[in-house]
Amino acid sequence: MRGKQELIDKLIGIQSSRKSYYSELNAIVGELQKKNKQLEVINRLTQIHVEKSWEEVSNYLAAQFSQVLSFDRFVLTLIDKSELLFYISQPDATDWSCHFVKRSIQTKTALSVGEFKKLLKKEMPDHYGTSVCLQNQSGKIYGFLTLLNRNRVEYPREDLELYKTMGEHVRVSIENILLFKDVSEKVKIEAQLIQSAKLAALGEMAAGIAHELNSPLTAILGHVQLLMREIKEGRPGKMLEDIYQCGLRSKKIIQNLLTFSRQEEYQFETIDLPDLIEDVLGLIGYQLAVSGISIQKDIDRTLPPVRGSRNQIEQVLINLLLNAKDAVQEKSDPEIIIGTCLASLEERPYVSIYVRDNGVGIEEEDISQIFNPFFTTKEKMKGTGLGLSVSLGIAESHGGKLLVDSKVNEYSQFSLLLPIQESEGVE
Ligand SMILES: Nc1ncnc2c1ncn2[C@@H]1O[C@H](COP(=O)(O)OP(=O)(O)OP(=O)(O)O)[C@@H](O)[C@H]1O
Ligand SMILES: [Mg+2]
């Protein structure tokens, strides 16, 4: 009987020690679970949403990598022309938080891993980094992934292999994001070009119509005013008042249209922006304050002066402030910030004057339309839908831009960018 049992034990490999058999089995199960986890993580690395910001991407990668490799911090580095963009993620109480550092690099040729390591060491001198590079199909290195540790760590070969495989998957995701950002930028530029062409055509047409309408309208208003002096009472008096108000409103539209289409109407001068902003707030600040809106100023006084038409720039800011006022009307803590800062777009320097509100925001499908003449979401008698198209015309006649950024129910920010002349800002 015993001989039989021994034989069975031998056949199934337990032999003398059941304990070692189970611990072996446990080790195999553990190994399989680990491999499974690694596969799960690798799978998740290819699911990064293309619309995420680079900070979010870095935190997401750090969270995934930390499930299978140990490290103190994680860095996603991207090379953008002559700049290195470091997105450094570190764990906080519950999640990962990212901080961003930008550095210029001198090298004209592609950056090697060795050179990159030296640059990273300069940035994080008290850390040791283990990096893999991100390389596109044609072999060009466009970034790096780095595991940072406060103490020198020798990762086992198996971990390094895994890290390399993960890097390969991240590369695909990052290339998709880069491609998406590139395409969205092109689509945006194309939309702007179409819009400018459309506006130019509309501008010419509008100027003609506005001129034609201006004289009869002046006559209508004049005659109604005369009649109003004679007939003040009753229904006729009320009707005349209505005709007069509608006439005034039409005149306002026509004046806006004329400003919108006029090109060399105003004299350009050197403008002191803080001073101009004070003037604008002097004009409508009171109106905003009595509506219970808090107005904050965030003015950079060190900016170079810009050249432009004072009247027209004032008009843009008034349009933007009035829009902001309408947007925050229903808010319990209405706030508008007007500020200035340096900005750069397509590698050209601008001074930006921005108006930001914490109002209703703009629906995504409306963003492409708000600069079109007559586009308005306001009640019939309230908005003419010309404010922004007039403002865009003014921005463009200054060689500048009018940009918008908004999130529904959170904020809207409009930035008027005015070019800094080459000779200004130097010296
Ligand atoms: N700060 C803002 N917040 C939310 N929506 C805005 C903001 N600014 C503009 N908009 C949207 O853009 C539309 C167009 O603005 P625009 O200034 O051209 O016209 P309007 O304000 O409607 O009329 P007008 O300025 O001629 O009296 C607005 O109706 C509104 O829907
Ligand atoms: Mg408006």
Atom of ligand 1 nearest to the CA of 375: 14
157-180 per-position pLDDT tens digit:
999 999 999 999 999 889 988 888
Overall average pLDDT of the 236-254 stretch: 87
Ligand 1 centroid, distance to 299 Cα (angstroms): 24
Alpha carbon separation from 158 to 162, 253, 265, 364 (Å, rounded): 6, 72, 72, 47
Q: Which residue has the higher pLDDT, 255 or 76?
A: 76
Name beta bridge partners: 147: 74, 130
**Pocket perturbation via mutation, ligand 1, pick of 323, 330, 370, 402 by most ligand atoms within 8 A of CB:** 323
Beta strands in 9-82 (DSSP E): 73-80
Atom of ligand 1 nearest to the CA of 414: 1
Residue-level pLDDT at 93: 84
In terms of C-beta density within 10 A (0-12 exposed, 13-18 middle, 19 or more buried), how is residue 263 classed? exposed
Does the pLDDT value for residue 263 go beyond 70? no
Q: What is the DSSP string of 311-344?
A: HHHHHHHHHHHHHHHHHHTT-SS-EEEEEEEEEE
Q: Three-class SS of residue 154?
A: coil
- Torsion-angle region of 292 (φ positive above 0: left; ψ -120 to 50: alpha; else: beta): left
Q: Which residue has the higher pLDDT, 349 or 23?
A: 349
Average pLDDT, the chain: 86
Residue-level pLDDT at 196: 66
Residue-level pLDDT at 264: 43
Nearest ligand to the C-alpha atom of residue 412: 1
380-416 per-position pLDDT tens digit:
667 778 889 889 988 998 999 999 999 999 999 999 9
Name beta bridge partners: 85: 78, 102
Least confident segment among 215-219, 285-289, 319-323, 352-356 = 285-289
Select from 305, 320, 287 the least CA-distant residue to 425: 305
Single-letter code of the amino acid located at 245: Q
- Ligand 1 pocket, 355 CB below 6 A? no
Phi, psi of 305 (to 5 degrees): -70, 160
Residue corresponding to tokens 């399989």: 32
Beta-carbon contacts of 393 under 8 Å, excluding residues fewer than 6 positions away, are 199, 203, 259, 260, 261
Does the pLDDT value for residue 18 go beyond 70? no
179-229 per-position pLDDT tens digit:
888 887 787 777 767 766 776 777 777 777 887 888 899 999 999 999 999
Least confident segment among 94-103, 115-124, 270-279, 393-402 = 115-124
- Ligand 1 pocket, 386 CB below 6 A? yes
Residue-level pLDDT at 10: 64
Ligand 2 centroid, distance to 320 Cα (angstroms): 7
Least confident segment among 162-176, 177-191, 261-275, 339-353 = 261-275
Residue-level pLDDT at 424: 46
Ligand 2 centroid, distance to 295 Cα (angstroms): 18
Does the pLDDT value for residue 274 go beyond 90? yes
304-315 per-position pLDDT tens digit:
989 998 888 988
- Ligand 1 pocket, 167 CB below 6 A? no
- Ligand 1 pocket, 312 CB below 6 A? no
Which protein residues have their CB within 5 A of the ion that is ligand 2?
323, 387
Does the pLDDT value for residue 107 go beyond 70? no
Residue-level pLDDT at 334: 95
Overall average pLDDT of the 91-114 stretch: 84
Q: Which residue has the higher pLDDT, 20 or 89?
A: 89
Overall average pLDDT of the 55-67 stretch: 95
- Ligand 1 pocket, 402 CB below 6 A? no
Residue 19 confidence class, pLDDT cut points 50, 70, 90: low
Residue-level pLDDT at 427: 36
Residue-level pLDDT at 426: 38
Residue 425 confidence class, pLDDT cut points 50, 70, 90: very low
Does the pLDDT value for residue 43 go beyond 80? yes
